[in-house]
Structure formats: structure tokens, C-alpha cells
């Protein structure tokens, strides 16, 4: 019997597929349980995007247009780790977010808040050998959405990570610490209570750049490997 290379998450780590407070999940969630698939070569390999060429400025969302975007400039940095605390080196990290006014540069976003011609909102970087990554951006605004009466999304930045394998693919959202809107957000609260706080970045005074930008630290933890299997 071959053991899985990547550990399966214990319960209580991820949200359920259907979270009734987040209405869109009702029509878009499977009812039948997923079939447990012992990991094969198809699951333990995955896109590393090693050939993907990143421009040096792709991690700086304040430099992508003609001028400086409006809003509070911030540094968002951290490490990509596995569950054993080991660095996931060279991982591609992608982010996207709305502008400081709470509006996405996207034709589908009809929120009555100004677009910023100097803010596009998408960035990419590759983690270094120690798993470290860093973005420079502006703090995204909160915005209303149609989920329920007076529904607001707390300020957040979307993160997309591939990690080393198909099995480790993760898309998530980073939130800001102590945001009072979090308590009312069904997407944040879809995560089991014991794990939710992992989606909040930490304010990082030490990472702050004096006279220039405040910093937030957000470590991302992907699935860890099982110990080397023993022959039985």
C-alpha cells in the first residue's frame, strides 16, 4: 500500500462547500461527498510555472500605471510554508484586490465608488529560496455586495498559490487585523472558528518602512508531506 505524499487536511481547517450564510454557495456546491483519491503521479505533480517570466515590478501594484494610486500605501509580506514550517521555495504567488475606494478594476463591478486610473489591482511574485515574498500595494477598501441586506465585504486581498503539486493548489483571501467588519462577513465566517484567524494578517511595525509605508505580515501554510512511508 502506497502512502499519500501530501497529508490530507484534518476536519476544521477549510470551509464547507456549502455555507448557507454565503448564498452563492447554495447553487454551486456538490451535494455528494468527494471521492477520496489515493494520490497518484497526477496529484503529486503540478504546474511550477518555472518558465513564467515575471517583470521586476509585478509585485509593486503602485507602479503599474502612469502615476501613484490613491490610498494608504502598504507592504504585504510573509513566507510560504508547509505544515511542518518548512519553506516552500520559488512558489508563484498571485494577488488581486480592489482599490482604496472599494472598487475593482473589472467591468462586472458596478459599485458606485470611483475607479482609480492609477490602480489596476493585480500582482505576482515568486517566493525566494526561503519562501519569502513581498508586495507593495494600497490598502483595499471595504465594499457592499448583494448577499443580504446591508452586506459588506471586509477589506481583503485575494491570494493564489500553486505550491509544489496539483494537490497543494490554494486560493484564499487575506484580511486585516481587528477589522470590525469581519464579524459580519459570511465568507470569512465560512471558515471553522478555530482556523479563521489564520486569514488575518498581522500588523508588522518592524517591517514598516519609515516615512513611506506601514507593513502587514501574512504567512501562508500549504499542505505538508507525510513522513517517508515505511514498508510494512
E strand or H helix at 123 = strand 122-126
Nearest distance, CB of residue 112 and another protein, angstroms: 16
Query: Is 62:73 a contact under the CB 8 Å cutoff?
Result: yes
Nearest distance, CB of residue 28 and another protein, angstroms: 4
Nearest distance, CB of residue 164 and another protein, angstroms: 8
- Choose, from 22, 133, 143, 188, the residue flagged as catalytic: 143
Q: Which residues contact 206 (CB under 8 A, 6 or more apart)?
A: 215
- 156 is a catalytic site residue: yes
Q: What's the DSSP call for residue 225?
A: B
- 133 is a catalytic site residue: no
Spatial separation of the C-alpha atoms in residues 104 and 54, rounded to whole Å: 23
Residue number with CB closer to another protein (5 or 101): 5
Neighbours of 145 (CB within 10 A): 13
- Choose, from 65, 105, 158, 225, the residue flagged as catalytic: 158
Residue number with CB closer to another protein (71 or 121): 121
- Choose, from 153, 175, 216, 223, the residue flagged as catalytic: 153
Residues in a beta bridge with 60:
136
- 158 is a catalytic site residue: yes
- 111 is a catalytic site residue: no
- Choose, from 124, 156, 188, 216, the residue flagged as catalytic: 156
Instruction: Give Dmax over CA atoms of the chain in angstroms.
Output: 64
Residue number with CB closer to another protein (31 or 149): 31
Catalytic site residues? 104, 143, 153, 156, 158
Amino acid at each position: 500500500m502506497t502512502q499519500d505524499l501530501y497529508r490530507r487536511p484534518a476536519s476544521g481547517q477549510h470551509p464547507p462547500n456549502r455555507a448557507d450564510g454565503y448564498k452563492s454557495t447554495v447553487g454551486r456546491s456538490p451535494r455528494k461527498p468527494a471521492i477520496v483519491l489515493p494520490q497518484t503521479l497526477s496529484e503529486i505533480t503540478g504546474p511550477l510555472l518555472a518558465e513564467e517570466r515575471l517583470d521586476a515590478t509585478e509585485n509593486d501594484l503602485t507602479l503599474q500605471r502612469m502615476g501613484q494610486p490613491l490610498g494608504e500605501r502598504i507592504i504585504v509580506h510573509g513566507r510560504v510554508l508547509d505544515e511542518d514550517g518548512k519553506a516552500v521555495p520559488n512558489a508563484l504567488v498571485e494577488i488581486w484586490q480592489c482599490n482604496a475606494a472599494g472598487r475593482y478594476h473589472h467591468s462586472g463591478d458596478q459599485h458606485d465608488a470611483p475607479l482609480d486610473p492609477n490602480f489596476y489591482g493585480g500582482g505576482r511574485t515568486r517566493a525566494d529560496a526561503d519562501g519569502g515574498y513581498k508586495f507593495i500595494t494600497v490598502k483595499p477598501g471595504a465594499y457592499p455586495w448583494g448577499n443580504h441586506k446591508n452586506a459588506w465585504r471586509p477589506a481583503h486581498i485575494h491570494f493564489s498559490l500553486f505550491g509544489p503539486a496539483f494537490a497543494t493548489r490554494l486560493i484564499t483571501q487575506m484580511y486585516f487585523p481587528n477589522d470590525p467588519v469581519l464579524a459580519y462577513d459570511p465568507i470569512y465566517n465560512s471558515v471553522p472558528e478555530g482556523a479563521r484567524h489564520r486569514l488575518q494578517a498581522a500588523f508588522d511595525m518592524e517591517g514598516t518602512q519609515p516615512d513611506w509605508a506601514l507593513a502587514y505580515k501574512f504567512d501562508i501554510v500549504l499542505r505538508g508531506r507525510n513522513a517517508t512511508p515505511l514498508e510494512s
